[in-house]
Chains A and B, each alone.
Chain A
């Protein structure tokens, strides 16, 4: 903090100085150990430097010293809210590398899990965003109530609530029983009601509107040139959803729309997420109804469940990406024909979406920086890897 000099006479020639403060790294609103180095003029932000790396755990290097399956539980810990979609991306990359076919039922299970994860992520991020706005813990606890039901399903199916480690190359680890499918269907029935309630609580709330509208506007051109992805990008009105663009897995079989925002402010980012949840529900309904019977693992890969160390993909490289709840989650894997990847890289949406934070925040008030960060939706496990 720099010293201030005050002159008592005449506000006009009062000396002002900028003030440099650190928000974080131990601050609840930074969603983890993340620091923003902010320069303020009064309450207005002049510059903002994100400082990251506090949670760096060397994920990529560790993966390069490990069997391919061995990295699967580590990917859970990237974006620990969405371990299922993290698994999904990694499994897809290795399947592409080794040319593995996935049975249809496994595709459906994966899609069901990925969309449930999206629900979990979006309700929580909205809850936390409201926390940042000062609606202290009421919305987040409503959100967590719904999240809990879905996590129960994850626990029942995969054995863990958050660190699922559920997907395997060529399929999934356990099958979905009819009871679990019925329970998922039950959740799907109740979820729209909850969303409506959630929206009554929030969408038209005047305080929320005043705080969020026209704050942190992200123009479409900037979003595209900074390769922002996910709900952030779509809130700015760019129609780009990897589920549609790539049609990976079996997404082309499902009917859903891609909700878009208009302005790209915090409110749009909030609302796009609400709409995305509704679309996810549509996908889930179709998937639960149409899920075919059959194998859950490709025959070729079953032996490697028992001996991951013998799985040696052919020499080559592969990049696969999925539409994770936070954006484009990509995995780049290079194989040199041994049991360990020669190179392993994660394209983390949290990290890339954060690069435009300064552009969003300059000129805004310091309290707005908090909600802008909240609306970017970062998870430090993925950001720092």
Chain B
């Protein structure tokens, strides 16, 4: 082979690619990058970036019960939770402080996996760059709150599946409660029948 043929053939390849990049479809050799801030590629549903806290209907009604499981499982330990207490010092089932340090978070998704209350999920938000690390990138509870509708918008499949599962669990719980209540009532009724002459004291809890 004549010296230089390889180079010429190679140059033909670059020429071909140069031309096709203008006229072909993206996966046929055309340009497949987009000019980012103006145009965007659709996000994949499973894409995960940083976690957010989910609430139903209104932000007061957040699902997180401050059980601290995610904070324990988080590999770089970037979640910090303090439980809320009411006036009498009784612990409430919600966090007073829920901080996630986004500079430490490594987007692994283990918090989402571990949470038993479907309260924390991975977000699609990625434009969070900031020059002020402490003020802007340490996310507090209220910055993290997002609605279930938002969850449905970014991850429809997962959200529907989780909602369905929650509803089912709710119904089961309700049914179980109703059954328990009925059983209790029946028991009380039986007890009441056993000693009828007593003056009708209101049965406790009935």
Chain A interface residues (CB < 8 Å from chain B):
66-67, 69-74, 77, 138, 142, 145, 148-149, 152, 155-160, 163, 165, 173-174, 186, 190, 197, 200-209, 305-309
Contact = CB atoms under 8 A, between A and B. Distances in A.
A152 B106 CA distance: 20
B114 interface: yes
Contacts of B114: 306-308
B17 interface: yes
A142 B17 contact: yes
B120 interface: no
B151 to A, nearest CB: 15
A159 B110 CA distance: 12
A206 B13 contact: no
A36 to B, nearest CB: 30
Interface residues of B, number: 31
A158 B46 contact: yes
A152 B46 CA distance: 11
A266 to B, nearest CB: 17
B72 interface: yes
Given A200-B10, A201-B14, A157 B32 contact: no
A271 to B, nearest CB: 14
Contacts of A201: 9-10, 13-14
11 contacts: A77-B106, A138-B14, A163-B106, A197-B17, A201-B10, A204-B5, A205-B10, A206-B6, A206-B7, A306-B113, A309-B72
Given A173-B113, A203-B6, 19 more contacts: A142-B17, A155-B46, A156-B44, A159-B48, A159-B109, A159-B122, A160-B47, A163-B106, A163-B107, A174-B46, A190-B27, A200-B9, A200-B13, A201-B14, A206-B4, A207-B7, A307-B73, A308-B110, A309-B73
A160 B48 contact: yes
A145 B107 CA distance: 25
Contacts of B137: none
Contact of B110 (A73, A155, A158, A205): A73
Contacts of B106: 73, 77, 163
Given A159-B47, A160-B47, A308-B114, A148 B75 contact: no
Given A66-B75, A138-B14, A160 B107 contact: yes
